[in-house]
Amino acid sequence: MGDNALWNMKASALLELMTAGEVSATEVVEAFLDRISEVEPKVGAFLEVMREEGLAQARRIDKLRQSGEYPGLLGGLPVAVKDNICVAGARCTSGSRMLANWIAPYDATVVRALKEQGAVIIGKTNMDEFAMGSSTENSALGLTRNPWDPRRVPGGSSGGSAAAVAAGEVPLALGSDTGGSVRQPAAFTGVTGLKPTYGRVSRYGLVAFASSLDQIGPIAADVKDVCLLMDVISGFDERDSTSEDRPVPSYSRVLSKSARGLKAGVPKECLTQGVSRGVRECFERALEILEDLGIGIKETSLPMIRYALDCYYIIAPAEASSNLSRFDGVRYGLRAEAKSLEEMYMRTRRNFGPEVRRRIMLGTFALSAGYYDAYYLRAAKVRTLIRRDFKRAFEEFDILLSPTTPTTAFLLGERTQDPLSMYMADVLTVPANLAGLPALSVPCGFEDVPSGGNGEKETLRRLPVGLQITGRPFDEETVLCAGYAFYQAVAAAVEAELTCMRKGLGQVG
């Protein structure tokens, strides 16, 4: 297929074609479903493809257009949803055997908003079990591969959503981000992902991992398409007690604003956290581009973020220990047969995967009598200090810049036996979650890395690198404005590589 194949087009371009009547929603959805059939065996991004439901939604959108009715802001655009976000009538597994056959009885608020604006939900994507992981290898239900190199991970925990967008299986997707789970896989797969401010997007209908950190966010090919999704999913929801009742701007309109004159800080601590030479070189080139765009760049310091990862891996497991206690075999999900209630609890919970069990035990220990003050309370105090560092930085700067990840995508199995090295994949993303800030990952270049082969036949693979832009609370506008300006400067090179990868993926036997 050529570069102008429907599945290779961005959401905004597809929407223009459908609005002009040059292509129908049914044709668009069929094109992406065909693409899924072609490459899904090589990628494994989806846990469930909702073919018939998607086509029925598309036909309904076409009828609305034909009758002159407004089909919604996303009228006819296919969207994939991470499998810890409820879609009524579809399985919601959270990548776990515990919920392998659980059917969601209602739509999450974000899904309801998508449907009301004419989006076509075409599938549920793979993820690390209960969103606990950085590679999607912790899924109990399947393996997802990075479209850029099938021997590498797509990142996690929203690896399925990111891989689906990167592979051209869907133009838009939703993920969830607790410690980087939208931004890190976006960086690993060469697409764009946003973690909104905590409270900007409703969490109602999201299976909870760490309730003070979780946030649903969009994944798309570029910043313009991310804005399109944000226009739909943002806003106050009375069913979510953490939702903020604030005015929501039109994010798509901020793209017309100039980024010239913005002040950007570069925390020096972010370049001492195991950042590879290739990632550092891409980041330094990105800074040069931003300066050429009229954005002032200056080094700064966030001294407390060196403790962010330690803080995160006390707070997040503690909240997970509380949230996952509901999976006891009594009310919903898997129930193991047993002779007593206690035995049923034990046998049922043995179906949690090893990483989930590890985090539950860590969290339970941190919350236990005699250790709460030494661990959880101290971590909560450190979190406050991290927030203060960011607040001071934003008194001087409009945005903060760093690489999204310290390295490019690593090989499948490379870190599964070393949890600490796996956790380091999120070292640059967890601070934004702890502080509740908006943060965007946008492609900024490529690093050539060994393919993982042996001997003289080993070749280099070009793997994407992400630039992370962090902003003030509820100032997604400035973050997206800067991200859009930057992406426009690198779009030609990034999209040429993306199109080449997608073509090769379809041809691989």
Catalytic residues: 82, 157, 181
Name the H helices within 341-456. Answer: 341-349, 354-367, 378-393, 419-423, 430-435
How many whole angstroms separate alpha carbon 55 and alpha carbon 358?
41
Query: What number of helices (H) and strands (E) belong to the chain?
Result: 15, 11
How many whole angstroms separate alpha carbon 141 and alpha carbon 99?
10
Whether residue 368 has a cis bond before it, omega within 30° of 0: no
Q: Extract the runs of DSSP E, i.e. beta strands, from 130-276.
A: 172-176, 192-195, 216-220, 263-267
Name the H helices within 153-307. Answer: 159-166, 183-189, 223-233, 277-292
Contact, 82 vs 160, CB < 8 A?
yes
Which helix (H) or strand (E) segment holds residue 483: the answer is helix 476-507
How many whole angstroms separate alpha carbon 325 and alpha carbon 198?
24
Q: Please state, in angstroms and as integers, the Cα–Cα distance from residue 58 to each residue in 75, 77, 79, 321, following that order.
A: 9, 8, 12, 41
Give the residue from 223, 224, 222, 203 showing the smallest Cα distance to 214: 203
How many whole angstroms separate alpha carbon 506 and alpha carbon 264?
40
How many whole angstroms separate alpha carbon 505 and alpha carbon 333?
36
How far is residue 113 CA from its own chain's centroid? Answer: 19
How many whole angstroms separate alpha carbon 237 and alpha carbon 107?
13
Give the residue from 373, 352, 372, 351 showing the smallest Cα distance to 363: 372
